[in-house]
Chain A
Amino acid sequence: MFEITLYHYLVLSLILFAIGFIGIIISKNIIKVLICIEIVMSAINLNFIAFTAYKNYLFLSGMIFALFITAISAVQTAIGLVLIYQIYKNKEKITSEEIEELKG
């Protein structure tokens, strides 16, 4: 109970991944969807760092991977926000229902 093992971290990150992914699916607000993507990415970062820290892998590749993931997903969110702003100027409201105009 009082010993925090790798498995604890993996379970935590998996729970957060699930919460974030469900959030991506059910959220109506696009900004909320972007926040949920960030939560998912952070959960994956936790996974990488926990593996690196507990298993003492040689080149710290997991931590480096986590750095790259942080940078790239932050930039992606910025692009998403710019696109949302451009759409908003025409639409005045941003819900994912209204973006379903191009329905598959």
Chain B
Amino acid sequence: MEIIKDIQNAYLPELILFIFIILNIIFSFFIKKNTYKISKITTLLAIALSGLSIFFIQINPTYKAFNDVYISNIYTTAFKIMILISGLLIILSSQSFIREKRQKSYEFFSIFLTGILSAFSIISSNDFISAFISIELLSVCCYFLTSFRRNHKSKEAALKYLITGASSSAIFLLGISYLYGITGNINFSDISDVISTSGINIMFIITCILIISALTFKLGCIPFNNWIIDIYEGSTYGVGTYLSLIPKIAAIGLISRLFVFIFSYSPIIQILTAIIALCSIIYSAIGGVNQTNIKRLYAYSSILHSGFLLLAASCVSVYGFSCLIFYIFTYIFMNIGIWNAAIIYTTNYQSDEIIDYKGIFYKNPYFSIAYTICLISLAGLPPTSGFLSKLYLFSALSREDFTYLIILFLTLCATVISLFLYFKMIKVIYEKNSQDTKIIKNITIGKIILYICSIITILICIYPNEFIKLSQIIAYYI
């Protein structure tokens, strides 16, 4: 049996996730008590088992399953592991995604797991049909997760997300249709073969631009960025963490594989992508400075970092991709750190404004120090992993040709501006506040996750060699 062999060799983690999705749905009919706890444990078990099963699939040499539609190699597996880590931390960190008892937690977690499954599928898909369907699956999961908050604002945010998502996927499909017309194939490697024999023309470049600009919607970069901010504001913190990590890692995985297979034939696409990334870095660095709402600040921060990720992917080289993997790995921990701090704060005091964080240091020193480490790391200052990943990115950029030097210079300027975005928050934390004393309590798991994130952030900076070596090995096998 061909299919069973394919599943054993490449599809085991996804199959386990799928079984647990179905299990969650079946439980929703029968088990009515302790729904939140049981569904959370099932989800954690699914992620753990799926992580274990990664050791049993074939990763080196590349395995092509289901008629070349699905591939599994070291590169895709590394992305899958990063998605699993972030999924695990998101579930552990947010104490309650769902406040009310009557809420449908089984359904919520089955949609959550489906998002992870579709992110896997995006990364390892080797053909445009399955890539398109899994992108749509991930988007649908994001619409539903956004709409899960019990108010009307979240429904509006979900509707906005749906309309922008649909129009961006229309652009994506237009690009694919012309690519199909030129080459007659929808498989990435077949398209790559056809183009390498027939050469490129102007139509090919236009299709690549259409595809890239549509994929940047998933990443949250410039052409479709301003509604992303509203979506973050409309959803809960837990979902916000999810939206700022899972779609981003999946999209950058797909973009980097597309760069290797298809876009690398024309250097113009690289430069254009770098310019898109640069624009979103500058936009978010300037726009985020005078925000007062913490979710909007985080949204600008996520646009900023997706710009850096796109910049790393756009220099198509082993060095660039290893930099990309290292950047994502560090970004997971610092991003979960800051969102988690906001979750801990808001479960104690319902407030989204930055100004309410005033003077929080004097009663909660450990919490504040851990939070500050994550913020500094996002800003990219020395004793943290964010500094190293930015340094690595800049060194990757400086290895490219002359146009990249200009981009490097502008990126450095924008990075300096973006320091204000984070230092505003840090300043508020350490400001003296005379009137009230806010003590944060009761959230043990969340606090532990925050401390772990900040410790890992520092540890990566102290022992970077192993991580960088590992990421170079992974990038070599793309």
- Residues on A lying within 8 angstroms of B by beta carbon are 10, 17, 21, 24, 30, 33-34, 37, 40-41, 44, 47-48, 51, 55, 57-58, 61-62, 64-65, 68-69, 72-73, 75-76, 79-80, 83-84, 86-87, 90-91, 99, 101-104
- A38 vs B156: C-alpha distance in the bound complex, in angstroms? 20
A61 with B157: CB separation less than 8 A? no
- Do A86 and B155 form a contact, CB below 8 Å, given A24-B163, A51-B177, A103-B230? yes
- A102 vs B167: C-alpha distance in the bound complex, in angstroms? 19
* Complex interface: chain B residues within 8 A of A103 (CB): 230
- Residue in chain B with minimal CB distance to A36: B167
B136 with A72: CB separation less than 8 A? yes
B147 with A91: CB separation less than 8 A? no
* Complex interface: chain B residues within 8 A of A21 (CB): 167, 170
A interface, over-half SS: helix
* Complex interface: chain B residues within 8 A of A47 (CB): 174, 177-178, 181
CB distance from A20 to the nearest CB of B (A): 8
How many B residues touch A, CB cutoff 8 Å? 37
- Do A102 and B184 form a contact, CB below 8 Å, given A21-B170, A41-B170, A51-B177? no
CB distance from A17 to the nearest CB of B (A): 6
* Complex interface: chain A residues within 8 A of B170 (CB): 17, 21, 37, 40-41, 44
- Do A41 and B227 form a contact, CB below 8 Å, given A24-B163, A86-B155? no
A101 with B162: CB separation less than 8 A? no
Interface positions of B from 141 to 156, Cβ below 8 Å from A: 143, 147, 152-153, 155-156
Which of B29-37, B45-53, B127-135, B395-403 is near enough to bind chain A? Answer: B127-135
CB distance from B296 to the nearest CB of A (A): 9
CB distance from B284 to the nearest CB of A (A): 12
Task: Say which residue of A30, A51, A76, A99 sits within 8 Å of B140 (CB atoms).
Answer: A76
A65 with B181: CB separation less than 8 A? no
A80 with B180: CB separation less than 8 A? no
- A86 vs B146: C-alpha distance in the bound complex, in angstroms? 14
B226 with A104: CB separation less than 8 A? yes
CB distance from A5 to the nearest CB of B (A): 13
- Do A101 and B132 form a contact, CB below 8 Å, given A21-B167, A55-B181? no
B173 with A69: CB separation less than 8 A? yes
Q: Is B264 an interface residue (CB 8 A)?
A: no
B177 with A102: CB separation less than 8 A? no
B163 with A33: CB separation less than 8 A? yes
* Complex interface: chain B residues within 8 A of A91 (CB): 152
Task: Say which residue of B129, B153, B230 sits within 8 Å of A65 (CB atoms).
Answer: B129
* Complex interface: chain A residues within 8 A of B461 (CB): none
* Complex interface: chain A residues within 8 A of B229 (CB): 104
* Complex interface: chain A residues within 8 A of B174 (CB): 17, 44, 47
